[in-house]
C-alpha cells in the first residue's frame, strides 16, 4: 500500500499544527516521523488514522483520494494507530479488549478470539494472558495487546506514536523485533518519535517536522548532527551542572515504612541538603514513587519519621508540606498535575494568591502573560492545557510552582520530551538548585540520572540502596543494581 499526504493543513485557533505537510509512505518500510514536541507529528497521524479531519489537503491510498470520518473508516481501509497511551478498557480482560471493534457486534466468539490472540502472540513473542484484566498489565503489555488487536482487524499500515515512552528495555527490544518482522512481511510502519537514537536504530527513512512543516527527509544511515539541525534549526547547547557548596539539611527520612496494595518499602533512611540533587533509579513500581509521595505529604507512612527543616511532619497533610516549601510534580501531567478543561489563565489564577473570595482576573492575565514568555510556553492565556504538547504542559507545570521552594520532588521530569525541551527543563531546575532548592527526581533514563544527580539511590522490589556518589558509579553499574544484583 502506498500512502500520499498532500498539503495537509490543521489549525487549532491561531496555532498551525500542520502547515502544508506532504509526504509519502511505502509498504515494507519503517518510516520515521521525527520532530520536537509540538512539531505536529501526532496531529498529522491522527488525521491519517481518522481521529481528526484536516482543514485542507488530500490523503491518497494507492493513488486514490480517501476521506476518513472516523478511526473505523481508517481501519477498514487498512490503517491503524497505536497511541502513546493505549486505547483500551482497563476493566475488560485482554480477550475482551481484543474483540473491541471486531465484526460480530456484542456477541464475542471467545474460542476464536482466544486462538487469534494466542496465534498472533506467538508470532511476535508476546506473552499475553487472555483472561488477565487490562488493569493488571504493564504499559508495554497493553501496547502489545493493542498491536495484536489492530493486526487482527487486518491493518496493513500501523502507526506508533512515541511507543517507547514508559516501557522497559526488554519490552522495547521485543517491540523493535516485531516492527522489523512486520516490515519484512510487507506492512508499512510509521514510527513517530523525538528520540534520535531510536530512529537511527529502527528506521530506513525519516521525515523531520519542525513547527508544523516538513524540514527535510533522510535515508539511512542518519547523521545525528543533520537530524538535530533539521529538528531544531540549529545545534544545541548544553547546560552544565556546576559544583556548588551544599547547605543545611532540608529533609531527613528516618526508618520509613510506606505501603501500597502491591508493595511495601521498609527501613528507608535518607538525608538531603539544600542545593543537592538526588536521583531515584529503578524499574517502575520498585518503591521510588512511594518514597516521593510520602516526602510530599501525599501518602501517610506506616512507620518512621519525615523531618523537614528540623520539624517532624510525619503523617501531616499535603498543605503542611506546602507551607514548608515542598512541591511535587507528577509524571501524569493531565491526570495529576493540571486540570483538563481549564485554560492557562485559570491555572495561574488558581496557583496565585487565593486569599479572599474573588479572583483578580487582571492579575491572573498579567501573570499568565509573564509566565508564558518566561517559560517559552507555545500557547496563549486562553489555551486549554490539554491542547498543549507534552513539552509545553511540562513547562506550564514548572511555571506554576512557587518561586521559593526548599524541596522540589519530580517524577520523570523529562519523560516524553525531545532533547531541546529536556535540556531547557534541566536548565530551569539547576537554576533553582543554585538558589538552594533541594531536588529529588526519578527517571528511567540512566544517563539523565548520572548527568544531573549528586547522589543516586537505587530501588528494586521495595528495597533501597545506600546513596551512591555519582562520580563513582557508571551507567552499567546502575543497570545491574536496578536488576537487583548487588543491591
User: Where does the pLDDT of residue 171 fall: very low under 50, low under 70, confident under 90, or very high at 90 and above?
Assistant: confident
User: Final residue of a domain: which of 213, 232, 251?
Assistant: 232
Domain that holds residue 268: 242-325+402-487
Distance between CA atoms of residues 370 and 86, nearest Å: 36
C-alpha closest to that of 167 among 198, 142, 201: 142
Is residue 237 in some structural domain?
Answer: no
Please check whether residues 109 and 247 belong to one and the same domain. no
Last residue of some domain: 401, 425, 445? 401
Is residue 9 a part of any domain in this protein? yes
Predicted pLDDT of residue 140: 85
- Cα gap 487→481, rounded to integer Å: 6
Is residue 412 domain-shared with residue 286, that is, in the same domain? Answer: yes
**Listed residues 232, 250, 278: the one ending a domain:** 232
Of the pLDDT bands very low, low, confident and very high (cuts 50, 70, 90), residue 186 is very high
- Note the pLDDT of residue 485: 62
CA 135/CA 91 separation, integer angstroms: 6
108 and 66 assigned to the same domain: yes
Whether 334 is covered by a domain: the verdict is no
331-338 mean pLDDT: 88
Residues 282 and 380 placed together within one structural domain of the fold: no
What is the pLDDT of the chain when averaged over all its residues?
A: 88
Distance CA 473, CA 93 (A): 42
The CATH number that applies at residue 410 is: 3.40.50.300
Q: How long is the chain?
A: 487
Q: What is the pLDDT of residue 262?
A: 77
pLDDT at 107: 62
93 and 198 assigned to the same domain: yes
pLDDT of residue 27: 93
Report the C-alpha gap between 443 and 344 in whole angstroms.
Answer: 27
Q: From edge to edge, which strands make up the β-sheet containing 56-61?
A: 15-25, 3-12, 56-61, 64-66
Residues 373 and 441 in one domain: no
Residues 277 and 214 in one domain: no
- Mean pLDDT on 73-89: 89
Q: Judge if 171 and 68 occupy the same domain.
A: yes
Helix (H) or strand (E) holding 421: helix 419-434
Q: Which of 60-64, 241-245, 287-291, 360-364 has the lowest mean pLDDT?
A: 241-245
**Angle CA 138–140–143, to nearest 5:** 110
* Residue 239: pLDDT band with limits 50, 70, 90: low
Residue 447, C-alpha cell as written in the block: 544517563
Residues 31 and 105 in one domain: yes
Q: Grid coordinates in use for 8?
A: 495537509
Give CA torsion, residues 313, 317, 323, 329, to 10 deg: 110
Within 10 Å of residue 223's Cβ, how many Cβ atoms? 10
User: Could you read off the pLDDT of 308-319 as tens digits, one per residue?
Assistant: 999 999 999 999
**pLDDT (mean) for 285-305:** 92
Q: Classify residue 333: in a domain, yes or no.
A: no
Model-level pTM?
Answer: 0.68
Instruction: Identify whether 331 is part of a domain.
Output: no
The reply to whether 90 and 100 lie within a common domain is yes
In a domain, 135, yes or no: yes
One domain, residues 45 and 119: yes
Average pLDDT over every residue of 213-225: 90
- pLDDT at 487 exceeding the cut of 80: no
How far apart CA 380 and CA 344 sit, in angstroms, is 7
Domain assignment of residue 330, yes or no: no
Helix/strand/coil (H, E, C) string of 25-48?
ECCCCEEEEECCCCCCHHHHHHHH
Based on the fold, state whether residues 98 and 125 are members of the same structural domain: yes
Which tops the pLDDT comparison, 97 or 56?
A: 56
What is the percent of the chain where pLDDT is above 70?
A: 95
Indicate the number of domains in the chain.
3
Mean pLDDT to the nearest integer, 334-348: 91
Amino acid at each position: 500500500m502506498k500512502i500520499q499526504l498532500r498539503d495537509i493543513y490543521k489549525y487549532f485557533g491561531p496555532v498551525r499544527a500542520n502547515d502544508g505537510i506532504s509526504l509519502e509512505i511505502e509498504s515494507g518500510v519503517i518510516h520515521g516521523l521525527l520532530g520536537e514536541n509540538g512539531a505536529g507529528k501526532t496531529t498529522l497521524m491522527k488525521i491519517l488514522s481518522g481521529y481528526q479531519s484536516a482543514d485542507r489537503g488530500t490523503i491518497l491510498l494507492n493513488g486514490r483520494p480517501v476521506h476518513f470520518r472516523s478511526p473505523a473508516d481508517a481501519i477498514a481501509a487498512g490503517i491503524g494507530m497505536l497511541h502513546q497511551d493505549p486505547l483500551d478498557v482497563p476493566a475488560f480482560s485482554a480477550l475482551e479488549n481484543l474483540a473491541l471493534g471486531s465484526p460480530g457486534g456484542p456477541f464475542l466468539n471467545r474460542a476464536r478470539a482466544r486462538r487469534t490472540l494466542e496465534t498472533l502472540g506467538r508470532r511476535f513473542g508476546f506473552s499475553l494472558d487472555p483472561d488477565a484484566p487490562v488493569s493488571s498489565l504493564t504499559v508495554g503489555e497493553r501496547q502489545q495487546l493493542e498491536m495484536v488487536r489492530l493486526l487482527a482487524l487486518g491493518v496493513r499500515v500501523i502507526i506508533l506514536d512515541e511507543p517507547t515512552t514508559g516501557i522497559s528495555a526488554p519490552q522495547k527490544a521485543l517491540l523493535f523485533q516485531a516492527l522489523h518482522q512486520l516490515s519484512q512481511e510487507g506492512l508499512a510502519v510509521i514510527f513517530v518519535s523525538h528520540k534520535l537514537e531510536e530512529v537511527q536504530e529502527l528506521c530506513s527513512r525519516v521525515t523531520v517536522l519542525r513547527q508544523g512543516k516538513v524540514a527535510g527527509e533522510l535515508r539511512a544511515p542518519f547523521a545525528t548532527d543533520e537530524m538535530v539541525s533539521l529538528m531544531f534549526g540549529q545545534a544545541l547547547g548544553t547546560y552544565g551542572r556546576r559544583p556548588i557548596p551544599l547547605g543545611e539539611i532540608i529533609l531527613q527520612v528516618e526508618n520509613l515504612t510506606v505501603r501500597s496494595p502491591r508493595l511495601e518499602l521498609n527501613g528507608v533512611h535518607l538525608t538531603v541538603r539544600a542545593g543537592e540533587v538526588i536521583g531515584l533509579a529503578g524499574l517502575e513500581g520498585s518503591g521510588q514513587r512511594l518514597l516521593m509521595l510520602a516526602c510530599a505529604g501525599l501518602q501517610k507512612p506506616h512507620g518512621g519519621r519525615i523531618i523537614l527543616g528540623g520539624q517532624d511532619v510525619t503523617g501531616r497533610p499535603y498543605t503542611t508540606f506546602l507551607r514548608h516549601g515542598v512541591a511535587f510534580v507528577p509524571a501524569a501531567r493531565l491526570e495529576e498535575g493540571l486540570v483538563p478543561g481549564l485554560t492557562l489563565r485559570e491555572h495561574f489564577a488558581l496557583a496565585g494568591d487565593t486569599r479572599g473570595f474573588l479572583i483578580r482576573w487582571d492579575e491572573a492575565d498579567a501573570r499568565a502573560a509573564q509566565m508564558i514568555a518566561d517559560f517559552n510556553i507555545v500557547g496563549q492565556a486562553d489555551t486549554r492545557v490539554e491542547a498543549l504538547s507534552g513539552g509545553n504542559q511540562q513547562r506550564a507545570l514548572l511555571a506554576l510552582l512557587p518561586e521559593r521552594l526548599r524541596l522540589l520532588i519530580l517524577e520523570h521530569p523529562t519523560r516524553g520530551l525531545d532533547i531541546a525541551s529536556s535540556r531547557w527543563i534541566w536548565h530551569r531546575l539547576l537554576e533553582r538548585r543554585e538558589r538552594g532548592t533541594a531536588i529529588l527526581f526519578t527517571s528511567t533514563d540512566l544517563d539523565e540520572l548520572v548527568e544531573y544527580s549528586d547522589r543516586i539511590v537505587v530501588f528494586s522490589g521495595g528495597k533501597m540502596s545506600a546513596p551512591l556518589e555519582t562520580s563513582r558509579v557508571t551507567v552499567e553499574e546502575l543497570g545491574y543494581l536496578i536488576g537487583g544484583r548487588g543491591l
